[in-house]
Chains A and B, each alone.
Chain A
C-alpha cells in the first residue's frame, strides 16, 4: 500500500522546494506565487481574514455571542444586527466572528498534533527501516483502513460530546497520512548524497534526522497541511453538526447550522451566514493548497 492520492506528486515537490529556496529569495517566490493566478491571491486574502478572526474575532464581536436575549429573537439583518439574530436573540455576526476560533482554530490544533505524531512515526520508521519500519507502517495502515468518520464518530460518542474529544478523534484519523508521507520522504532522502556524506563523517542518527532529513521533509508536509486544513475544518464542523462535537452555546459554525435547521423558513439569515463563513474558510485553504501544489510541481510548471 505505497500509493495514495498524493504520493506521486510529493517527491517532486520537495526537489523544487529545495531548489526554490536555494536559488531564489523567498520574497520573490511569494510574489511569483501571488501573481501566477488570481485564485492564489483570493486564497491568501481569505485565509488572512479568517486567521484574523481566530485571533481577534471574539474581542471585536459587537455583541455577546452567548448571552441570550429572547426579546430580540430571530430578527432579520439590520443595522444593529448585521447578520440578524438566532432563536435566543443572540447576534449571529458576533457568533460567526467568535466561531472562527472553534471551527478553524480546532482544525489547526488537530493538524498540529497529527503532524507531530505522524512526523515522529514517519522519521523513525523511514530511518530505522527493517522490522521497526514494518511494524510501524502496518499499524499506520491499520488506522488508514479505518473508515475515518466512523472512527471519529465512535471516539466522540464513546468519550463524550465535547470539542476536546473531537480533537482526539480527528487526530487519530489524520496522523497516519503524515506518517506515510514523511516516511516516504525519509526513504528517498536517506539515499541522497548529502545524507550519505553526513553519515560518512560520523554524524549521529539523531543529528542526521534533525539537521538533514527533517528540514527537507517540511516542504512536503506544509503543502499537504494546507490542503488538509480545509478537510479538517469540514470534519470538525460536520461532527458538531450531528451533535458529536462542540456543544451549545459554543458558537461553532457546524453547531450553529444544526441549530438553524428548524428556523430555515422563518430566518434564512440564520443558516446562511455560518454556512458562508465555513465555505469561505475552507475555500481559502483549498485555493492556497491547490495553488501551492501547482506552483511547486515541476511537471505542471511549464509546458
Chain B
C-alpha cells in the first residue's frame, strides 16, 4: 500500500467493501490515484478474502481456503491421507528444466521445489520454498538466497548451495523449454551464480533486474534437480541426462515418486527427509483421464479428490453438488483468436473484431468463467491499463469495415482450433453464425492439439496458415513483457517464438524493446498501455475475447487449498489436508 496517501486507499477499500465499485473500477481509480497495481491488488485481496478472488461455493462456514494458516494442532484430521487428482492427458516429459507444460508443473509442485514461491493468492509477494530467506541489494543487481542446512534430495544427496548452482547451470546450459524464464536474467551461470557458503547462494546481475524474484518463483523451469542423479545418468550423447530426467524424478520436494506411468498415472509418497514441515497427505496420486465426462463422474462419485480440468458447463452443475467445493479464482490468462497478419489487412482485422460474439461466448459458452478484456494483458497483471476500451459485437460496423477492407459477400475464411475442447468448438460455431449474417463464410478446421501447436509454432509460412487460430496465454511470472513479447514481437515469428500469425508492427516492436528494460512500474504501465492499444485497436493482432476465471473442484472435506493466478491449475499440496467430517 502506498504510504503517502493512506486516505485514498481507505476510500477505495470502503468502496470495495460496500460493493459500490466493481473490481475493475477500483483498479482504474486506484491507478488514477497513483497507487501501484500490486498495492491495489493487495487491497482487493485484503477486503475480499474468500470473496471474489477465491470462492468456495459449498465449503462449510469457517473453513475458507485460508485454512493453510491455521496451526496443525486442533484441526480434526481425517484418517484418509490419500489425495487423488485428475489430469486430462499424459505428461511425456518429467524433466522440470525442459517441460513447459501446465500439467507437468502441477506434478512438479509435489516433488520439486523452486527457491521461492508466490505467497498465497498473491502474484508479487513471495514465501520460502527451498530457500529459507532471501534478500537483494537496493538496485536489484544482487540476490542472495539462504538454504536450510537439512535439505536433501530424494536420492539422499544433500542439497547445498553447490547443488543448487549445478542445477541452475544444467537448466541454463541445456537450453530446453522454459529456459527463457531465467536466461533473460542469467546468461552466464558460471559467473553470475556464486556459492557463498554451503547454505548461501548469490545471483549477480549485469543491470538492475527488479523482476528476477518474480521469475525465480515461476513454476516453469527454476526448479532444483539432483546433480548426483545428473552425474549418474548422463551419457556420451546426453550430457544433461535429459532422457533419464524425462522419466524419473529426483527433487527436494515433500513427495517422492513411487510409480510414474506417463500416460496413465503418477503416484507419490511422502518424503520422510523433507526439510520443511511434514505435509498431511501420505500419498498424492495423479490420474490421467482424457474424457471430460469421466472426470466429472469420478469427482461426483468421490473416487477422485481434486480436478482443475472441468469444463464450464459441468462446473455450473457441480456447484450445486453439496459433496463438492468449486473454488473459483481469477487468473492471468487471456484467451484470444489470432488473426493472420499476412492475409488480413488492418481494416479487415478491425472488422472481424467487431463480428466476434463477445457476450454470447462469455455468458453462454464460458458460462461466466471469464470476463471481457481489453487486450492481451489481464487485469491481474502489472501493466494492465483500464483506460483502453473493450470491443463489443457490432455487425453493422463489422460489415462496413470488412467492405472497406475489400472483402465481399461470399468470401471464405478459415478458422482453426484444437480438437477435444467443446468450448472451443461452440465459440467457433457462434463466430461462424455471426459472420454468416453478414454474408461471410467461415470454414472451421478442427485439428489435434499437437498439430495446432506444431503449425502455430513451426515454420509454415503465414500464407499457408489459416486466417484465424484460437489460443490463449498467461505469463510465466507477473510481467506484461513476458506475456506480449513471445506472441506479438516480430522477433518471435514462426519457430522463433509464438507469434504464430506473423504479427509485425515496428512501433510495437520498438515499445516492447523499451518495456523489457523498464525500470519503474509507471513506465511499465505506460508502455504496456501503448502496446495494448495498438494490438487491440490501431492494428489488431487478435480478437481478445476473455480473461479467464478458473475453478478447481475439490471434495468438500479438503482444506488448505489456495489457488494462485499464476500457478494456474496447480495445487499447494504441502499445505492441503482433509478434515474429518
Residues of A within 8 A of B (CB): 66-68, 70, 73, 87-88, 157, 160-161, 243, 247-249, 259, 261-266
Point out the residues of chain B lying under 8 angstroms from A66, CB to CB.
Answer: 429, 433
- Closest residue of chain A to B447 (Cβ to Cβ) is A161
Point out the residues of chain A lying under 8 angstroms from B428, CB to CB.
Answer: 248
Point out the residues of chain B lying under 8 angstroms from A266, CB to CB.
Answer: 313, 317
Establish whether residues B446 and A243, one from each chain, have CB atoms under 8 Å apart when the complex forms. Answer: yes
Given pairs A262-B314, A265-B317, 6 additional interface contacts (CB within 8 A): A67-B436, A70-B430, A247-B446, A249-B429, A262-B292, A266-B313
Q: Is B445 an interface residue (CB 8 A)?
A: yes
| Complex Cα spacing A247 to B426, Å | 12
Measured CB to CB, the closest approach of chain B to A217, in angstroms, equals 41
Given the known inter-chain contacts A87-B313, A243-B420, A266-B313, please indicate yes or no for A249 contacting B432, CB distance below 8 A.
Answer: yes
Establish whether residues A262 and B293, one from each chain, have CB atoms under 8 Å apart when the complex forms. Answer: yes
Point out the residues of chain B lying under 8 angstroms from A264, CB to CB.
Answer: 293
Point out the residues of chain A lying under 8 angstroms from B317, CB to CB.
Answer: 265-266
- Closest residue of chain A to B311 (Cβ to Cβ) is A262
Point out the residues of chain A lying under 8 angstroms from B360, CB to CB.
Answer: 70
Measured CB to CB, the closest approach of chain B to A74, in angstroms, equals 9
Given the known inter-chain contacts A88-B426, A248-B428, A259-B422, please indicate yes or no for A70 contacting B446, CB distance below 8 A.
Answer: no
Measured CB to CB, the closest approach of chain A to B304, in angstroms, equals 17
Establish whether residues B313 and A68, one from each chain, have CB atoms under 8 Å apart when the complex forms. Answer: no
Point out the residues of chain A lying under 8 angstroms from B433, CB to CB.
Answer: 66-68
Given the known inter-chain contacts A247-B444, A261-B292, please indicate yes or no for A87 contacting B419, CB distance below 8 A.
Answer: no
Residues of B within 8 A of A (CB): 291-293, 311, 313-314, 317, 360, 364, 419-420, 422, 425-426, 428-430, 432-433, 436, 444-448
Q: How many A-B residue pairs have CB under 8 A?
A: 55
Measured CB to CB, the closest approach of chain A to B537, in angstroms, equals 27
Cβ-closest 9 pairs across A and B: A243-B419, A70-B364, A261-B293, A68-B433, A262-B422, A248-B425, A247-B446, A249-B429, A70-B360
- Closest residue of chain A to B359 (Cβ to Cβ) is A70
Establish whether residues A87 and B448, one from each chain, have CB atoms under 8 Å apart when the complex forms. Answer: no
Given the known inter-chain contacts A70-B430, A161-B419, A262-B292, please indicate yes or no for A248 contacting B313, CB distance below 8 A.
Answer: no
- Closest residue of chain A to B312 (Cβ to Cβ) is A262
| Complex Cα spacing A261 to B296, Å | 11
Point out the residues of chain A lying under 8 angstroms from B426, CB to CB.
Answer: 87-88
A157, A160, A249, A265: the one contacting B444 at CB < 8 Å is A249
| Complex Cα spacing A188 to B428, Å | 56
| Complex Cα spacing A160 to B430, Å | 23
| Complex Cα spacing A48 to B499, Å | 53
| Complex Cα spacing A265 to B445, Å | 28
Establish whether residues B429 and A68, one from each chain, have CB atoms under 8 Å apart when the complex forms. Answer: yes
The interface centre, meaning the residue of A66, A248, A249, A266 with most chain B CB atoms within 10 A of its CB, is A248
Establish whether residues A263 and B313, one from each chain, have CB atoms under 8 Å apart when the complex forms. Answer: yes
Q: Provide 9 A-B residue pairs closer than 8 Å at the C-beta atoms, listed in order of the A residue.
A: A68-B430, A70-B430, A87-B313, A87-B422, A157-B448, A248-B429, A249-B444, A259-B425, A262-B422
| Complex Cα spacing A249 to B436, Å | 13
Measured CB to CB, the closest approach of chain A to B145, in angstroms, equals 46
- Closest residue of chain A to B437 (Cβ to Cβ) is A67
| Complex Cα spacing A237 to B444, Å | 19
Point out the residues of chain B lying under 8 angstroms from A249, CB to CB.
Answer: 429, 432, 444
| Complex Cα spacing A301 to B409, Å | 63
Measured CB to CB, the closest approach of chain B to A290, in angstroms, equals 34
Point out the residues of chain A lying under 8 angstroms from B432, CB to CB.
Answer: 249
Measured CB to CB, the closest approach of chain A to B16, in angstroms, equals 33
